[in-house]
Homo-oligomer: A and B are copies of this chain.
Amino acid sequence: MNNDKWLIRNGQFIVNAPETSVVKGCMMIENGRITYIGESLPEGEEETPFIDGKGLLFMPGLVNTHGHAAMSLLRGYGDDLALQVWLQEKMWPMEAKFTSNDVYWGSSLSVLEMLKGGTTTFLDMYDHMDQVARVVQESGIRASLMRGAIGLCSEEEQAFKLAEAVQFAKEWNGQADGRITTMLSPHAPYTCPPAFIEKFVQASYDLDLPLHTHMSETAAEVQQNVDSYGLRPVAHLEKLGFFDRPSLVAHAVHLTDEEIAVLASHQVGVSHNPGSNLKLASGVARVNDLLKAGVTVSLGTDGPASNNNLDMFEEMRLAALIHKGVSGDPTAVPAAEALRMGTEYGARSIFLNDTGTLAAGNKADFIALDIDQPHFLPYSDLISHVIYSASAKDVAHVWVDGIQVVKNGESLTMDEERIKSEAQAAFEGLLAR
C-alpha cells in the first residue's frame, strides 16, 4: 500500500517513550513518515485506507551498522580459523578476484536476506561501491555506504583509492530518494599508514561527511599499533584527528578504561559485532562499560563470511546474552537496551536523526513480526520475546520510507530466484578463476 496516507489498525507497536513499551492501537503513515501512534483511531480518519495489524507486532526496522555485504559470496568458505589466517589465506585471495559483477550479486544476496529479516538500514564498507549503491536503489533499503580503503600499497595506489572513496561519497550522498548517505572510511589503523588516515580526515572536513573504520578488533592488532606507533589505536586515531570528526568505529573489542573515556568524550559511536567477534575468537567487547560511559553502542553483523548470517535479531540476542554470561551480571544489557542497540542507537550511530524508532515525525522504516507462533506465547512481555525468542524468519512485512518492500516474507522489490542463482554462479566463478 503506497497511498499517501494510510493506517495500521488493531496492531501492537513498540515505542520508546517514556520508556520502551508496547502500544496497542493505530499507526498512521503519511508520505513516508509516521504521523501518529496511539490507542485510538485519530479523529476524522475513519475512511482512511488501512491494513489490519492483528497478530502482528510492529517495531522499528533494524539498523546494521557494520558489514561488507558482498562477502556473502564467501559464506562458509573458511570457518573455524584464526582471523589473520582466515583473512590472508581465505578471504583476501578470493576478494582480490571480485569483479563488479560479483559485488553486485553478493550485495544483492545480502540485501535480500537483510530486508526479509527486518533490517531496513545497513552500513556497507567495501569496494566496487557503485554496485552496492545500485542494489540499494533497486531494493528500496536504506544504507550508509563507503569505499573502504586499505593503505598497504604504493602512494600512487593510495591516492587512487582515496580519490575513488571521495568520488563515491560525493556522487552518491543523498541518492536513491535520500535513502543513501555516505561516509569516508580508511579500513583500519593496522592497514593504513597515519598519513593516509589523515587524508581521509581532511576529506571528511572537505565533504562534511562522517568517518568510519575498523578499530581494536584483535589484541594482536592493538599490540602492533603500539609497536609501530607507540600508541594504542584510540590514542593513535585521536592524535590523527579522526575523533574530532563525527565518527563510528567497528568492533572496539580491546579497550582500556582510558580509551573508553576518550571515545565517550568525543562522542565516537561503537558498532559492536558480537557474532563476528566470537566466531573469529577476537574476544568479548566491554559493552557494559561502554554503555555506562555513555557511548552509543549499536550492532553490526560484519560480513556474512564471519557471522555467517545477517540476522540482526541474533545480534541483539547475543548482545543481551554474552555480556551477562561473561560479566556474571544478569542485569547487564537488558532486553529493552539490546533492542535500542539494534534500532535507535543504530540510526544515531550512522547519523540518521529521523529513523530508528516508531515516533510521529520519523521516517516510516518499520517491520511487522508474526507473533501468532508458539515461541511468542504466552503474551507476557513482547520486548523480551523480540530479544530472547525471535529470529529474522519471524518477520512478515517490511516497510522503508512507508513503502512496503517485503510482504508475507516475500521480497516485493528483488528477484529472489535470480539472485540466488547468480550468487551461486558468482561463487563458482570465483572458485574456477
Interface residues of A in 214-262 (CB under 8 A from B): none
State whether A389 touches B75 (Cβ < 8 A): yes
State whether A308 touches B388 (Cβ < 8 A): yes
- Candidate in A277, A310, A384 with the most chain B CB atoms within 10 angstroms: A384
Q: Does A23 contact B (CB under 8 A)?
A: no
Q: Note all chain B residues with C-beta closer than 8 A to A75.
A: 375, 377-378, 380, 384-385, 389
Q: Does A360 contact B (CB under 8 A)?
A: no
The size class of the interface chain A forms with chain B is 35 or more
Compute how far the CA of A310 lies from the CA of B310 in the bound complex, rounded to whole angstroms.
Answer: 21
- Candidate in A113, A321, A379, A384 with the most chain B CB atoms within 10 angstroms: A321
Q: Which of B282, B324, B375, B424 interacts with A278 by CB under 8 Å? A: B324
Compute how far the CA of A427 lies from the CA of B335 in the bound complex, rounded to whole angstroms.
Answer: 21
Given contacts A80-B335, A335-B80, contact A389 B281 (CB under 8 A): no
Q: Does A403 contact B (CB under 8 A)?
A: no
Segment touching B, from A33-41, A44-52, A326-334, A340-348:
A326-334
- State the Cβ distance, A323 to closest chain B Cβ, in Å: 9
State whether A325 touches B80 (Cβ < 8 A): no
Q: Does A355 contact B (CB under 8 A)?
A: no
Compute how far the CA of A329 lies from the CA of B282 in the bound complex, rounded to whole angstroms.
Answer: 9
Given contacts A278-B325, A375-B309, A420-B374, contact A80 B380 (CB under 8 A): no
Q: Note all chain B residues with C-beta closer than 8 A to A427.
A: 377-380
Q: Does A77 contact B (CB under 8 A)?
A: yes
Given contacts A76-B388, A334-B80, contact A281 B380 (CB under 8 A): no
- List 8 A-B residue pairs with CB atoms under 8 Å apart, sorted by A's residue number: A73-B378, A77-B380, A308-B388, A309-B388, A322-B322, A372-B420, A377-B423, A393-B394
- Closest 4 interchain pairs by CB? A278-B325, A393-B393, A378-B427, A281-B330
A sample of 19 more A-B contacts (CB under 8 A), given A116-B374, A284-B325, is A75-B375, A75-B378, A76-B381, A76-B385, A80-B334, A80-B335, A81-B330, A82-B330, A82-B331, A113-B375, A279-B320, A279-B330, A281-B329, A283-B325, A283-B328, A309-B375, A314-B317, A322-B325, A379-B424
